[in-house]
Structure 1
Amino acid sequence: MDIDSFSTKQEEVISVADLNRYVAQVLGQQVPMLWVKGEISNLTIAASGHWYFSLKDDSAMVSSVMFRGRAASVGFRPQNGLEIEALGQVGLYEPRGTYQFIIEQMRQAGKGNLHEEFLRIKNKLMQEGLCDSHRKKSLPSFIKTVGIVTSLGAAALQDVLTAIRRRAPYINIIIYPSLVQGKEAPYALSHALMQAKQRQEVDVLLLVRGGGSIEDLWAFNDESLARLIADMPMPVVSGVGHETDFTIADFVADMRAPTPTAAAELVSVTTESWLSLLEGYRQRLSRGFAHRMQNFSIRVDRVSMRLVSPQQRLAQLQQKYHYLQKTLHQAIQQMLREKASDLSQEIRALQAASPAVEGYYQKVGHLTTRLNRMMPLVLQKKHAQLQAKKEALQAYNPRAILKRGYSITYNSQAHVVKHANTVKAGEKLRIELGNGQLEVVVLAEEN
């Protein structure tokens, strides 16, 4: 049923749903969009994102709703007791027949057009990415010079200077004076920032001002100023107003401090903190150096245990020679005993096999004589072989080589010199001879 077909004849009976639908249509067509001022109460933020609350003043109250799509554009979070100005349309919730105010826009009471302009600029810059965290610069690890953009007569300047001098007197301070309030303030602030940008003389820049109303702080909401802040080559810390004050400069700056004093504390590491940090580095360096020295000492010990000097090597070879000589002698003796045993067995076997023992005795005597004659020759041959091996071992002895007229040359680092191009004229060398050493100086090198 619509308004045109709706009949008000007394005898016609309609349903409750038709009645509520009719009233909803009348309200929608007859009552225009309105700005309504009131205080939020009974606030409920549903899981769906819709806001349900009552809007009241001293005399009346109206149920209100702001759906999720519209609520997302509000630049603040509602709370009970907050006074707002809301633009909306009167409607009827037909299932229950309750009258409600459906809100399209909302702003905090008293801020009016300035707050709307603030939100417009903020949303524009955020959409362009000027407020993104990935483009913000980090503060230097060590700050030597701090620039301050503010008014020379501002109390915030004295707060910043006091905080920096108290915490970090080693920091140099450069002030770029500027207006911080009024119509000319945005231009003055931009001019001060341009000076800092051109001079390139500070590590970080503080943009500070004390608290005030939205009108007092409006210069820091200027769009051109915000773009200049985002384009500064050095990090910019915004410390404008009190902790609850927010300006566009806060969103585009590389870091936001709740107060001017807090901004000063962000960029001024105390001397005690630096000393503590340096002490930590010193202890880590000391422990690391001691650990490396221990590792090097262990490596040296392991390498030295694997090294064998020529004298030790010669002693090992001599010991091996004596062992081989003794083993050979024992082997020959064992062989002789075995041959003698075999010979005795053969004699006994011959005696048992043939009664002609005398002939065999003669043969045995002949073999014995032959064996006694050959044995010295075998021993002499083996001894000659041992002597040849001994002489070969002696030939490998570096000392023996030196005694034949050769020498070994060492440089100043005790390294053996193998090529003439590894030494230079004037360099001192040590020459080891078969008997003694010589210290010499190189007159010239010839390749």
Structure 2
Amino acid sequence: MLAQTAPPTTAQSPAGPGAGPVLTLHDALQTALKNSLDIQISQNNVDVQGLRNNAGFAGALPAVGITASNNAVVNNTQQEFNTGSSVSRTGAVFSQYNVGLAGTLLLYNGGHVVATRKRLDELAQISQLQLNSTVQNVLADVSLKYYAVVQQQRYIRTLEASVEVSRQKLRLIETRQSVGLANNADRFQAQLDLNAQLETQQQQQLAAQQATADLLRALTMDLNTPVAVEDTIPVNRSLSWAELEGSLAKNPDLLAAERQIRVNELIERETRAARYPSIGINTGTNFARSQNSVGTTLFNQSYGPYAGLGLSVPLYAGGVNRRQVDIARINTRTTELQSNALQRNYRLNALKAWEAYQKQLSLVTTAEQSYTTARQLLKLVQLRLDAGLSTLVDVKLAQQSFEDAGYRLVNYRYAAKSAEITLRQLAALLAP
């Protein structure tokens, strides 16, 4: 089980003392980097590839081993010699001991070792790029989930303001009814409007709780951890397409795809190397001892070093190697096509995100003006209602306009922030 890393406390939540400490985006991203299971898995893959990136795995280092055996044999023996004598023995014992130290060193095998060594290095680089990609994905996912919570809480703030207007409206009507200036129909309608507002507020609180649970899950934290988020969705209006387009080439997924082409080319070289002769050195030392209770040789012992040169020349294997080379060549071309397709898709996604980013920025500007106007209208209608110049219908329409303007503003801000996060992720510019 992973240790749960609690976010640092920076301030008390504006939502109340029971809502928990305020979790800033920076703290959330730092916590995700520490706790993310995906990052830990990617880091393990980097460690594995680092261990494999070794001359021994490529077959460039000598192999040394010790062999030993001890055999004892009991035979019933009957022998006749050309001298005319004979031997018959029951339970004759024969024992043999062998100990050897052997070493082999590959000198040449068509460049297979060199190609393998380079391929292992490329795989280690790819694993590091995949780790960087995982980090970018985690940062983007946590950022989107963080601002999704802010989005839901901003909805609640808009509803709270509207609910307060409904409460004031109900109190005003009850006051008027007490002096005979309003009837039960007005009071009932005001009460129904307030109940509907409260129901919507409760539903929105549930949506905010679920969004918070999604954020805590992304942070690998206990889902019961009380936290609150910041109250705004800041949008960076200074992004430059030229800068983003230049950074797009540094995307770790695209760099990994390019290195994968190199890996397949090296596999092609490794496969082609099987056509060439293999030369190696064999050296070592042996010790052998045998004893026999019957026969012409009763005792034999030998020991000493040896050295030799081995040569293996492939002549024919049913055309398997040629077909394997063709398969490796096709796989290389396939990887090139996949890399080109990935580059096109990433550029297309970046262009779409850039267009969405620009469009949402203009919508945010308009929505901010509409929200300000709707809030002013609601205050004006309240004042007119107090003076007896507005009806309940006027107040309800002003409330609906205020809520719609608040929803649109929050939605546009979140959409603009989502496009911004996507652009930064594609350009590998996200940082905690």
Query: With structure 2 as the length reference, what TM-score do the two structures score?
Result: 0.19
Structure whose alpha-carbon radius of gyration is higher: 1
1 or 2, which has the higher helix percentage? 2
